[in-house]
Amino acid sequence: MLKKIFVSAVLLLAVLSFVVSLLKGNNNNEKTVTVPDRVAVINIEGTIVCGADSKDNLFNQANGVTSGSIMKQIREAAADDSVKALVLRIDSGGGSATAAEEVGRELARFKEQTKKPIVATLGNTGASAAYWIAACASDKIYANATTLTGSIGVYMPYMNTEELFKKIGITSDKIKSGPYKDILTNDRPMTPEEKVILQNIVDEIHDQFVYTVSAGRRMETSKVREIADGRIYTGRQAKNIGLVDELGDYYDALAAAGALAKINPGKDGLPPVKVKEKPQPWEYILSAELATMIKGQLLEQLQAGFTNPAVQNVTR
């Protein structure tokens, strides 16, 4: 019986590996052949957070994008000789300032190392941290007239639930190493000294945001500061105050990137593109990770069989 289990496990893994390799072979967008000059398109959708390059799976669909995922794509574009320009296709209301800073640093490195153009295009929204990314190194920014953008500002959320806890009979206390170790705790009011500390942090990050926009958009810092009060603007309003260069959609931005990079357009007037496609359903199900999991489970069962007297008696 144990021998049959082992043979079945080997056959299952062999069939699974064959199917995965066959499907991947038929759907490989990056074949090892000579490719024409093209534009790399990086999609930035949803909340932008710090983190490593994460892979979606069948049970955990991503609702945003990590800085690690964006940075990896930027570096891949820099290393690809066929890529002559970069398009940032953004539809995001923002996220982490640190994530935006990380991505901005990689975009600046891309620009410095490759000297290739970067064009940003804003969809429904391109605000806050998303606008930070768009503005920091782009040669041109496109937006639709109805796009919501701007929101050049920083905030730090805070909630005081002390009175609510008292009503339901919950009290809390803590032992801390210093007076500010529990800053931003929600079980007591914030002290005036803590407000000063946090306000200074917010002001410092806001200044960095303003300087980033000022340098990227080649605008006077004083002018940026006037419009950087946290409000959002429509795409048309943003163009009028210098935060956006042109009103247009993704294809307008793609054509502009191709023209800046001097790429011969196709019959549709657009340059060839390199874009990271979203995984297909079969890739979620028949992934290498799933194969590894199945292999691990089978090995556990086999090992259990060797140590289980009942199984040993059956196989004798």
Cα–Cα distance, 100 to 122 (Å, whole number): 16
| Catalytic positions | 128, 181
Query: Both tokens of residue 100?
Result: 């935006």
Alpha-carbon dihedral sign for residues 197, 202, 203, 208:
positive
Residues contacting residue 216 through CB under 8 Å, at least 6 positions apart: 135, 136, 137, 138
User: 108: Cβ–Cβ under 8 A, 6 or more apart, which residues?
Assistant: 136, 137
What does DSSP assign to residue 82? T
Q: Looking at the DSSP assignment, which residues form a beta bridge with residue 40?
A: 86, 274
**Cα–Cα distance list, 121 to 96, 128, 311 (Å):** 20, 15, 63
Yes or no: say if 252 and 147 are a contact pair by the CB < 8 Å rule.
no
The contacts of residue 283 (CB under 8 Å, 6+ apart) are 23, 24
